[in-house]
């Protein structure tokens, strides 16, 4: 499978195998775009605006897996967005053409000159390139802004370098957002992302304990390497079998029942029946409370009722800003 449509966005997998030259001097950006955060959105906004003015295609080039998992696996970060999550976020921004390059050992060893000439120029032939001011590519990340400026002059494409986005003196970065999520600063992370935090998972069979408490849950299996925020209860919106829901999510061990394995469970309000399998797309809207150990099941059930009231009220009063539909 070399290409698919997701909604109104066309996705091409690996331009080493597919010729995209039919595009007439497209406007192109490239990067990992993990999280598709506010800084990334600034770059993509410039991409779309410039393509519209030039009356040509806007193309986002990204990588799968995260390059660090190939370059230095022991130091690779947990990812903010899986490929599917990233593509959905790009589509929501109005991107219509995305190229996913398989980042493998062969690509890791390509020099900046080889990457530029054999992939970017030969396959896409951009008329305009938009990148962030910290962008680098090629072996050892040797292809930096100065290299691109020289290449633009040599090969006849225009280059725009977008300065990093800073909020209250803080440079927005995927690294900083990861740290905030791990440390429980969810409001900061969500604000810098510019959207709810996505958790797309596959439902797996649980122990059925939630159903007995009156709060049946979807137990989620996540993609390898996906970053989970700090343990606790969160308000969420979700999509299951094409239908939108609101609900609450618990991340962490079930300490009330002396279970120590970290789990991800979602209770969707007004959901009739629990599917035995399938995918659920969850968007984490906001923090509700930290985990607690209860004396018994009744204590936990009372708390779940209180949590539901809190989350419903937060949705009704628009405490979750920018809610994902």
The CATH number of residue 259's host domain is: 2.40.30.30
DSSP 314: H
Lowest-confidence region among 93-102, 177-186, 231-240, 257-266: 257-266
Regarding whether 7 and 141 lie in a shared domain, the answer is yes
The angle, 0 to 180 degrees and rounded to 10, between the axes of the packed helices 186-193 and 174-182 is 150
DSSP 127: S
DSSP 172: P
Condensed to tens digits (0 to 9), the pLDDT of residues 63-86 reads 999 999 999 999 999 999 999 999
At 257 the pLDDT is 72
At 225 the pLDDT is 95
d(CA 45, CA 91): 12
Number of helices (H), then strands (E), in the chain: 10, 15
User: What's the sign of the alpha-carbon dihedral 314, 323, 201, 78?
Assistant: negative
Query: Does residue 146 surpass a pLDDT of 50?
Result: yes
Regarding whether 96 and 207 lie in a shared domain, the answer is no
At 204 the pLDDT is 87
Q: Give the domain extent around 219.
A: 198-316
Over residues 2-13, mean pLDDT = 85
Long-range contacts of 18-23 (CB under 8 A, 24+ apart): 18/123, 19/123, 20/59, 20/99, 20/123, 20/124, 21/123, 21/124, 21/125, 23/56, 23/57, 23/59, 23/97, 23/124, 23/125
Which two structure tokens, joined as six digits, stand for 67?
Answer: 């390059």
What is the percent of the chain with per-residue pLDDT over 90, rounded to a whole number? 77
DSSP 140: G
Query: Does residue 305 surpass a pLDDT of 90?
Result: yes
At 7 the pLDDT is 81
At 20 the pLDDT is 58
Note whether residue 301 is domain-resident: yes
At 18 the pLDDT is 63
Regarding whether 163 and 96 lie in a shared domain, the answer is yes
Lowest-confidence region among 18-27, 239-248, 284-293, 299-308: 18-27
Note whether residue 324 is domain-resident: no
Over residues 152-169, mean pLDDT = 95
Note whether residue 128 is domain-resident: yes
Regarding whether 85 and 203 lie in a shared domain, the answer is no
Note whether residue 54 is domain-resident: yes
Identify the three-state secondary structure at position 221: strand
Total count of domains within the chain: 2
Q: What count of Cα atoms within 13 Å lies in the side-chain half-sphere of residue 73? A: 5
At 184 the pLDDT is 96
DSSP 242: T
Condensed to tens digits (0 to 9), the pLDDT of residues 168-186 reads 888 999 999 999 999 999 9
Q: Answer for the pair 59, 28: CB distance below 8 angstroms, yes or no.
A: yes
Query: Does residue 206 surpass a pLDDT of 90?
Result: no
Lowest-confidence region among 86-95, 237-246, 273-282, 303-312: 273-282
Q: Answer for the pair 14, 119: CB distance below 8 angstroms, yes or no.
A: no
Query: Does residue 276 surpass a pLDDT of 70?
Result: no
Q: Answer for the pair 169, 140: CB distance below 8 angstroms, yes or no.
A: no
- pLDDT confidence of 322, banded at 50, 70, 90? very low
| Domain CATH code at residue 18 | 3.40.50.620
At 324 the pLDDT is 37
Over residues 282-297, mean pLDDT = 93
Cβ within 8 Å of residue 8, ≥6 positions away: 91, 96
Query: Does residue 124 surpass a pLDDT of 60?
Result: yes
Over residues 138-167, mean pLDDT = 95
Regarding whether 225 and 147 lie in a shared domain, the answer is no
Query: Does residue 265 surpass a pLDDT of 90?
Result: yes
pLDDT, the chain, mean: 91
- pLDDT confidence of 158, banded at 50, 70, 90? very high
Regarding whether 202 and 162 lie in a shared domain, the answer is no
Identify the three-state secondary structure at position 168: coil
Q: Could you say which of 125, 151, 167 is where a domain stops?
A: 167
At 319 the pLDDT is 81
At 323 the pLDDT is 38
Note whether residue 181 is domain-resident: no
């Amino acid at each position: 499978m070399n290409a698919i449509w997701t909604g109104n966005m066309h996705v091409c997998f690996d331009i080493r195998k597919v010729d995209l030259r039919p595009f007439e001097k497209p406007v192109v950006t490239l990067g990992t775009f993990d999280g598709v955060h506010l800084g990334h959105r600034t770059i993509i906004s410039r991409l779309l605006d410039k393509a519209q003015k030039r009356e040509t295609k806007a193309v986002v080039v990204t990588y799968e897996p995260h390059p660090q998992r190939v370059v230095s696996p022991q130091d690779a970060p947990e990812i903010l967005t899986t490929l599917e999550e990233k593509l959905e976020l790009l589509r929501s921004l109005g991107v219509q053409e995305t190229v996913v390059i398989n980042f493998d050992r062969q690509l890791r060893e390509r020099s900046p000159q080889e990457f530029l000439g054999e992939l970017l120029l030969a396959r896409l032939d951009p008329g305009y390139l938009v990148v962030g001011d910290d962008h680098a590519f090629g072996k050892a990340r040797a292809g930096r802004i100065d290299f691109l400026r020289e290449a633009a002059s040599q090969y006849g494409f225009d280059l725009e370098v977008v300065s990093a986005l800073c909020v209250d003196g803080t440079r927005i970065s995927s690294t900083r957002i990861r740290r905030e999520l791990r440390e429980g600063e969810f409001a900061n992370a969500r604000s810098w992302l510019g959207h709810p935090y996505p958790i797309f998972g596959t439902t797996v069979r649980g122990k059925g304990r939630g159903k007995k408490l009156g709060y049946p849950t979807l137990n989620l299996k996540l993609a390898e390497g996906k970053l989970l925020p700090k343990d606790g209860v969160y308000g969420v919106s979700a999509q299951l079998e094409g239908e939108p829901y609101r609900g609450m999510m618990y991340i962490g061990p079930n300490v009330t029942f002396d279970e120590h394995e970290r789990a991800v469970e979602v209770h969707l309000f007004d959901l009739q029946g629990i599917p035995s399998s399938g995918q659920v797309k969850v968007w984490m809207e906001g923090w509700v409370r930290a985990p607690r150990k209860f004396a018994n099941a009744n204590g936990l059930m009372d708390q779940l009722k209180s949590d539901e009231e809190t989350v419903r009220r937060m949705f009704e009063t628009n405490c979750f800003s920018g809610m994902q539909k």
